[in-house]
A and B are shown apart, each in its own frame.
Chain A
């Protein structure tokens, strides 16, 4: 990565940090103590990880120029299967002690979600199915499996120990929030400090160049969607632990929000640009607004309207900035021959 590109990415980040500050300041100004209280921040800390993991899952696939529409369906399927373990649906688990049950459930959720992600990756890389179609198909398919095995009913009643995952805290900081920060750091490190990450950016920028550079692009795509699946698995554990139940259709609104946050955080939908730090900031902004809307008592429909307009607005702003940039770049290109001519 050259210096120029780095500076360019940093401007996006600076704009984002600025927006975050403005959002928090404005909310502070309007809502005062109501917003800036330990209580509110704590509840935000509990709410962020749930869709934060889904947003990370979406972001890594969007960096490659793809998209993963199946994140929520995947999380639901993994959650339902984990819930089957937790409620001892099968005789096999009858003699499990509570800790063993909880550990097995978490492993089942992660395993199922990772396999589902792997399946996406195989479809996209080995069969060359366009990501939108592949994940649209698996989204319907995963929802279909969840629906068929539950008939649409919720699976409820988990052991206390499992619920602690969602409600536990270290000091004042929610456990799941710490988990989310660790996950963001790991994904961020992977994207910016490893060869895999470099490959992801190169593939997103120009997949043919990546292929001709000798990158094993098929392998790379499989790994990216595997990671996306794994992150959905974490989201599923947090989701069912916080709801104390698992059901088809939980978190359906998160799909739009995950895309919104990724775009808001500076991930270019055509791939190759964006950083995890941006996505995390985007999540903070979204959650701050979400909490404010709850304090304002907005209806879910009004929220939907606002999320939709925000998504469009951010995309339009990005377009304007991009055009402005490419104009100034064109200007440089046109100038260059002139300066070389005597």
Chain B
């Protein structure tokens, strides 16, 4: 039986409603919120998180979880910036190449460990996260790079805009080029998941490892793709992150991974695998980013951020889990 395809899943429409209602409240309280300038700022700030969240989304679909991607991102971003300074190659493509290769390499290490030793993905990536981070501090160092030292190509990338406009206040603003890798990543993720055999394998692995194996999927290749893909996106995000904040402190970023996972989960991705939508993930990140940057408009300090994110996360997982529970009860399955 095929269910009728809807434009939005139920979860997505809830999320959209939350975004709209919350934005209306903020806009009523502070009309300054409703400006293109602010909207573009929000998009720019959310770009890096979106890249990470897409990777997390793919891992969650495959039934795993990855907490090492922030360590991979900072490893890639920081190393490429250091390498550019050391070799005097001031080229953005070089930065992306270095960072993405590091990402793929570290991601594939995750895949190998998880596949060969059948470790629980959370604990395995918790371990590799510390290992990656420790390796970076030992191999590359822990000194921060400030805006003055930063290679100019990265600085330019951070401030480049697709188009610009002048605000009534006289400030120029515009859509940051960060949107390009994000749109690209969304398209690739969509294509791989919904238009290739590999994507079917990822969904299949998430739904049931045993049946995926019996259906003849090569689980090693699937895992290898999934974890290297997270690594790749994290590597790209590393450069975007460095360009966004204009200076890099190697101890930053690590520790924010749970909020990205939270976003993907709020977006409807199930930890048990096989379920979730790209649009949901994007909405999840938008919600988290909204709280991040608009609590100030409501007159609350950023300290309240976690409280709201935690509440939304708890409510969203409780509702979906409870629905699942009722469904299992009705069909007398006790496995969930």
What sequence of 0s and 1s flags, for each residue 315-336 of chain B, a beta carbon within 8 Å of any chain A beta carbon? 0011001101100100000111
What sequence of 0s and 1s flags, for each residue 294-312 of chain A, a beta carbon within 8 Å of any chain B beta carbon? 0000010111111111011
Q: How far is the CA of A269 from the CA of B127 in the complex (A)?
A: 14
Please indicate the chain B residues that have their CB under 8 angstroms from the CB of A137 in the complex.
Answer: 262, 310, 313-314, 317
Residue of A132, A148, A252 touching B65 (CB-CB under 8 A) = A132
Best-buried of A123, A130, A312, A316 by chain B (most CB within 10 Å): A312
Q: How far is the CA of A261 from the CA of B324 in the complex (A)?
A: 34
> By the criterion of a CB under 8 Å from any partner CB, how many residues of chain B are at the interface?
51
What sequence of 0s and 1s flags, for each residue 100-132 of chain B, a beta carbon within 8 Å of any chain A beta carbon? 000000000000010001111011101111110
Q: A138-B310, A319-B118 are in contact. Are A259 and B318 (CB under 8 A)?
A: no
Q: A152-B303, A208-B335, A211-B334 are in contact. Are A140 and B127 (CB under 8 A)?
A: no
Q: Determine if B306 and A128 form an interchain contact, defined as CB atoms under 8 angstroms apart.
A: no
Q: B187 interface residue, CB < 8 Å from A? A: no
Best-buried of A133, A139, A303, A316 by chain B (most CB within 10 Å): A133
Q: A141-B310, A305-B130 are in contact. Are A128 and B321 (CB under 8 A)?
A: yes
Q: B221 interface residue, CB < 8 Å from A? A: no
Q: A269-B120, A304-B134, A306-B134 are in contact. Are A144 and B306 (CB under 8 A)?
A: yes
Q: A136-B261, A259-B126, A309-B127 are in contact. Are A144 and B305 (CB under 8 A)?
A: yes
What sequence of 0s and 1s flags, for each residue 253-272 of chain B, a beta carbon within 8 Å of any chain A beta carbon? 00100110110010000011
Q: How far is the CA of A138 from the CA of B113 in the complex (A)?
A: 29
Q: How far is the CA of A252 from the CA of B127 in the complex (A)?
A: 15
CB contact list, A134-166 vs B, under 8 A: 134, 136-145, 147-148, 150-152
Residue of B124, B313, B322 touching A127 (CB-CB under 8 A) = B322
Please indicate the chain B residues that have their CB under 8 angstroms from the CB of A134 in the complex.
Answer: 314, 317
Residue of A142, A150, A319 touching B310 (CB-CB under 8 A) = A142
Q: B135 interface residue, CB < 8 Å from A? A: yes
* B320 (CB) vs chain A CBs: closest residue: A129
Q: A198 interface residue, CB < 8 Å from B? A: no
Q: A138-B314, A312-B124 are in contact. Are A128 and B336 (CB under 8 A)?
A: yes
Q: B184 interface residue, CB < 8 Å from A? A: no
Q: A283 interface residue, CB < 8 Å from B? A: no
Q: Determine if B258 and A312 form an interchain contact, defined as CB atoms under 8 angstroms apart.
A: no
Q: A256 interface residue, CB < 8 Å from B? A: yes
Q: A263 interface residue, CB < 8 Å from B? A: yes
What sequence of 0s and 1s flags, for each residue 283-319 of chain B, a beta carbon within 8 Å of any chain A beta carbon? 0000000000000000001011111111101100110
Q: How far is the CA of A150 from the CA of B307 in the complex (A)?
A: 12
Q: A289 interface residue, CB < 8 Å from B? A: no
Please indicate the chain A residues that have their CB under 8 angstroms from the CB of B311 in the complex.
Answer: 141, 144
Instruction: For residue A70, give the distance in angstroms from its CB to the closest CB of chain B.
Output: 10
Please indicate the chain B residues that have their CB under 8 angstroms from the CB of A307 in the complex.
Answer: 130
Q: A187 interface residue, CB < 8 Å from B? A: no
Q: How far is the CA of A148 from the CA of B309 in the complex (A)?
A: 12
Q: How far is the CA of A142 from the CA of B309 in the complex (A)?
A: 11
Q: B138 interface residue, CB < 8 Å from A? A: yes
Q: How far is the CA of A259 from the CA of B271 in the complex (A)?
A: 19
Q: How far is the CA of A304 from the CA of B254 in the complex (A)?
A: 13
Instruction: For residue A197, give the distance in angstroms from its CB to the closest CB of chain B.
Output: 23
Q: How far is the CA of A303 from the CA of B336 in the complex (A)?
A: 38
Q: Determine if B307 and A311 form an interchain contact, defined as CB atoms under 8 angstroms apart.
A: no
Please indicate the chain A residues that have their CB under 8 angstroms from the CB of B65 in the complex.
Answer: 132
CB contact list, B17-37 vs A, under 8 A: none
Please indicate the chain A residues that have their CB under 8 angstroms from the CB of B305 in the complex.
Answer: 144, 147
Q: How far is the CA of A94 from the CA of B121 in the complex (A)?
A: 50
Q: Determine if B303 and A151 form an interchain contact, defined as CB atoms under 8 angstroms apart.
A: yes
CB contact list, B240-280 vs A, under 8 A: 255, 258-259, 261-262, 265, 271-272
Please indicate the chain B residues that have their CB under 8 angstroms from the CB of A299 in the complex.
Answer: 137
Q: Determine if A136 and B313 form an interchain contact, defined as CB atoms under 8 angstroms apart.
A: yes
What sequence of 0s and 1s flags, for each residue 249-288 of chain A, a beta carbon within 8 Å of any chain B beta carbon? 0001000100100010000011000000000000000000
Q: Determine if B306 and A130 form an interchain contact, defined as CB atoms under 8 angstroms apart.
A: no
Q: B142 interface residue, CB < 8 Å from A? A: yes
Best-buried of B126, B272, B310 by chain A (most CB within 10 Å): B310
Please indicate the chain B residues that have their CB under 8 angstroms from the CB of A132 in the complex.
Answer: 65, 122, 271
Instruction: For residue A86, give the distance in angstroms from its CB to the closest CB of chain B.
Output: 22
Instruction: For residue B24, give the distance in angstroms from its CB to the closest CB of chain A.
Output: 23
Q: How far is the CA of A211 from the CA of B131 in the complex (A)?
A: 39
Q: A175 interface residue, CB < 8 Å from B? A: no
Q: Determine if A308 and B325 form an interchain contact, defined as CB atoms under 8 angstroms apart.
A: no
Q: Determine if B119 and A256 form an interchain contact, defined as CB atoms under 8 angstroms apart.
A: no
Q: A81 interface residue, CB < 8 Å from B? A: no
Q: A17 interface residue, CB < 8 Å from B? A: no
* A143 (CB) vs chain B CBs: closest residue: B306
Q: How far is the CA of A305 from the CA of B259 in the complex (A)?
A: 23
Q: B69 interface residue, CB < 8 Å from A? A: no
Please indicate the chain B residues that have their CB under 8 angstroms from the CB of A303 in the complex.
Answer: 134
29 contacts between A and B (CB under 8 A): A128-B328, A128-B336, A129-B317, A129-B318, A130-B321, A133-B271, A136-B265, A136-B313, A137-B262, A137-B313, A138-B314, A140-B306, A142-B310, A144-B305, A144-B306, A148-B304, A208-B334, A269-B120, A301-B133, A302-B137, A305-B134, A305-B138, A308-B130, A308-B133, A309-B131, A312-B128, A316-B113, A316-B117, A319-B119
Q: 12 more A-B contacts (CB under 8 A) besides A67-B122, A140-B306, A144-B304?
A: A128-B325, A129-B321, A132-B271, A140-B258, A141-B313, A145-B307, A147-B304, A305-B135, A308-B131, A309-B130, A315-B124, A316-B113
Question: Contact residues of B with A, CB < 8 Å?
Answer: 65, 113, 117-120, 122-124, 126-131, 133-135, 137-138, 142, 255, 258-259, 261-262, 265, 271-272, 301, 303-311, 313-314, 317-318, 321-322, 324-325, 328, 334-336
